Amino acid sequence: MLLNLVKSDEDKATGNIKEVDEAKATMRALVSDNSGVSVRRKSKTKVLLRVLESRRRSQL
């Protein structure tokens, strides 16, 4: 039973990491030079990306 619990938490953590990676890829596309997104929105997206990366590092 304990092994199943550990496996379940591992699957959840892996899913969370994949979700963050997908979000980061989307945000990087938004802040690229040729995305057509406003400077203000790019700035806010960069801040959000840093927060996500920081939280991900703290979970590892």
pLDDT at 30: 74
Mean per-residue pLDDT, 27-56: 78
pTM recorded for the entire structure: 0.47
In angstroms, the CA 48 to CA 54 distance is 10
In angstroms, the CA 34 to CA 53 distance is 23
pLDDT at 40 over 80: yes
- Give the chain as a 3 state SS string: CHHHHHHHHHHHHHHHHHHHHHHHHHHHHHHCCCCCCCHHHHHHHHHHHHHHHHHHHHHC
